[in-house]
């Protein structure tokens, strides 16, 4: 297992287009998280899954954002009708939650630029 | 909602000097984690603190969790150029996900 994998690494899209990102977590990890990070800021929580169940979604996430983790393995994050304000680094992380909290392992992220 | 602030935002030190970043949460935390993010890379987990007043060391790095479990600090002794990056604290409150702090960017020059 080589860690958390995200693709694509970069995505440039025109405003109004839909985009989809993929995250493959560490296989033994049952939790998967999506965060967004803009320049000079800390990662901002978007949503997370425990196995295939989406347990929480940020209030900041508009209806244009949707995430899935259909079989409890990889996850996708879709943004519909992209806006320039969606430009950011989208980070995926996974962790193993069982008897206590553990550190997150982040992927390298997908950098989205909306033009 | 929960907010986690860090100070300073930025610090520039000469190699060999010490560095400290402070983390404050608006709510009591069940635990706190620290991450390091090198320029152009993703955050990397450093450590987790769980107990009130806990102190942990990793070589030149010392991490503390406050008695009230609302604040934390990271101290680096004798900084090296390899310490360059942004250090984030991240707190776990009543929700089951981490809230990241605003980060402290450390620059180290020879």
* Segment A51-90, tens digit of pLDDT: 999 998 998 788 999 999 988 899 999 999 999 999 999 9
Which residue on chain B is closest to A102 by alpha carbon? B48
A36-58 mean pLDDT = 93
Q: What is the dihedral of CA B81, B83, B87, B90, to 10 degrees?
A: 170
Question: What pLDDT score was predicted for residue A99?
Answer: 55
Give the β-pairing of A110-114 and B85-92.
Answer: unpaired
Which residue on chain A is closest to B50 by alpha carbon? A101
Please indicate whether, in this complex, the C-beta atoms of A106 and B96 are within 8 angstroms of each other: no
Q: Which two tokens stand for residue A52?
A: 């295939």
Interface test with A, best of B44, B91, B98, B99 (most A CBs within 10 A): B98
The alpha-carbon gap from A89 to the nearest alpha carbon of chain B, in Å, equals 10
On chain A, the residues whose CB falls within 8 A of the CB of B98 are 45, 104
- Main-chain phi, psi angles of A84, to 5 degrees: -60, -30
Q: How confident is the model at residue B73 (pLDDT cuts 50, 70, 90)?
A: very high
Identify whether the C-beta of residue A106 lies closer than 8 Å to the C-beta of residue A93: yes
Residue B62 has pLDDT above 90, yes or no: yes
Please indicate whether, in this complex, the C-beta atoms of A91 and B48 are within 8 angstroms of each other: no
Between A and B, how many CB-CB pairs are < 8 A?
Answer: 55
Mean pLDDT of chain B: 95
Question: What pLDDT score was predicted for residue B96?
Answer: 79
Mean pLDDT of chain A: 93
Q: From the list A40, A56, A108, which residue is nearest B42 (CB)?
A: A108
- Main-chain phi, psi angles of A106, to 5 degrees: -95, 150
Q: Which two tokens stand for residue A67?
A: 């995430």
Rounded to whole angstroms, the Cα distance separating A51 from A10 reads 27
The sign of the torsion formed by the CA atoms of A108, A113, B3, B5 equals positive
Please indicate whether, in this complex, the C-beta atoms of A41 and B103 are within 8 angstroms of each other: yes
Please indicate whether, in this complex, the C-beta atoms of B96 and A56 are within 8 angstroms of each other: yes
- Whether residue B63 lies within 8 A of chain A, CB to CB, comes out as no
A43-56 mean pLDDT = 93
B62-91 mean pLDDT = 97
């Amino acid at each position: 297992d080589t860690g958390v994998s995200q693709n694509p690494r970069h995505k440039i899209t025109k405003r109004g287009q839909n985009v989809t990102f993929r995250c493959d977590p560490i296989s033994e990890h049952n939790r998967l998280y999506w965060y967004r990070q803009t320049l000079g800021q800390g990662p901002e929580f978007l949503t997370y899954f425990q196995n295939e169940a989406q347990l929480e979604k940020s209030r900041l996430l508009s209806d244009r954002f949707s995430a899935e983790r259909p079989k409890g393995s990889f996850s996708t994050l879709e943004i519909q009708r992209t806006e320039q304000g969606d430009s950011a680094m989208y980070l995926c992380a996974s962790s193993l939650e069982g008897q206590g909290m553990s550190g997150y392992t982040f992927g390298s992220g997908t950098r989205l630029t909306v033009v | 909602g929960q907010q986690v602030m860090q100070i300073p935002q930025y610090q520039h030190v000469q190699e060999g000097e010490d560095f400290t970043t402070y983390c404050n949460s608006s709510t009591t935390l069940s635990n706190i984690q620290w991450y390091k993010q090198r320029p152009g890379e993703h955050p990397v987990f450093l450590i987790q603190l769980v107990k009130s007043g806990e102190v942990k060391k990793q070589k030149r790095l010392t991490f503390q969790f406050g008695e009230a479990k609302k604040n934390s600090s990271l101290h680096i002794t004798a900084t090296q150029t390899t310490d360059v990056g942004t250090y984030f604290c991240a707190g776990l409150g009543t929700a089951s996900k981490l809230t990241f702090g605003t980060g402290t960017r450390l620059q180290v020059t020879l």
